[in-house]
Structure 1
Amino acid sequence: MPERSRAEQLDHLDRVAQQMDRAFRVPLIGVRVGFDSIMGLVPGVGDLLALGPAGYIVLQGRRMGAPNRLVARMGFNIGVDALIGSIPLVGDIFDVGWKANTRNTKLLREHFAAQEVVRQL
């Protein structure tokens, strides 16, 4: 299997984040939610299951060459999501706005874009 380019890898991670954070639009209010928010409605197990795709994004970012500091920041985003997301009702509402997976893929894109700019200088 041929290795994917960095752009293809980032696009793949964006699709994972989109499914977890913004897959569906709630009718009438227009807010976008994903499987992270839906799974979070299941006490205990839902939040735990949502850590799988979040961890996958971090692991792939690490494999792509993200530095330790960036990986730590991504872990912080997941930790905040997991900690506050575990609080009944408040955590479910928080999940809709925090979108840790989207934050993490954005961090990766910004890092690699900045790296490319420096490389072109």
Structure 2
Amino acid sequence: MAGGTSEDLYTMASSSHDPAAIRKRIEWMEHLLERSIKIPGTNKAVGLDVVLDLIPIGGSTLAAALGSYLIWEARNLGMSKTQMARMAGNVGFDWALGMIPWIGAVPDFFFRSNSRNLKIIKRHLDKHHPSSVTLDG
């Protein structure tokens, strides 16, 4: 999911409430925030979330704002307030860890709030919108 055509990007950027389009957008956002940058010489990847945590105070806040996008999409899907509160807790915990200058990026490497939130949304989509399910290749 690293690249895509301009048509794919338009579909992701649209404000459609279609569950399949939402699934595409949240998978893209999670990839950007958690797995978009390969660490040379390793089999590990980090994302914009870890990189932003290296910027004291403002970086963690910006990463939390980007992570909140997944919660906004959860609201668009009509997910329960309990599910969204759990997702907000994940983002808040990640934000608090990131507030520790420089060191905060280390636990963020292991606590991937956006991946956790993606799983919560995917479970909802699989249960309530099974037609949006895609096979991961």
- TM-score scaled by length of structure 2: 0.78
Residue in 1 aligned with 2:93? 80
Residue in 1 aligned with 2:111? 98
Q: Offset at 1:102?
A: 1.5
Residue in 2 aligned with 1:48? 61
Q: How many residues align?
A: 117
Residue in 1 aligned with 2:38? 25
Q: Offset at 1:13?
A: 0.8
The share of aligned pairs that are identical, in percent, is: 26
Looking at structure 1, the residues matched to 43 and 103 of structure 2 have their Cα atoms a distance apart, in angstroms, of 20
Q: Offset at 1:4?
A: 4.8
Residue in 1 aligned with 2:19? 6
The 4+ residue runs of structure 1 with deviation greater than 3 A are 1-4
| Structure 1: gaps (5+ residues) | none
| Structure 2: gaps (5+ residues) | 1-13, 131-137
RMSD after superposition: 1.8
Q: Offset at 1:112?
A: 2.2
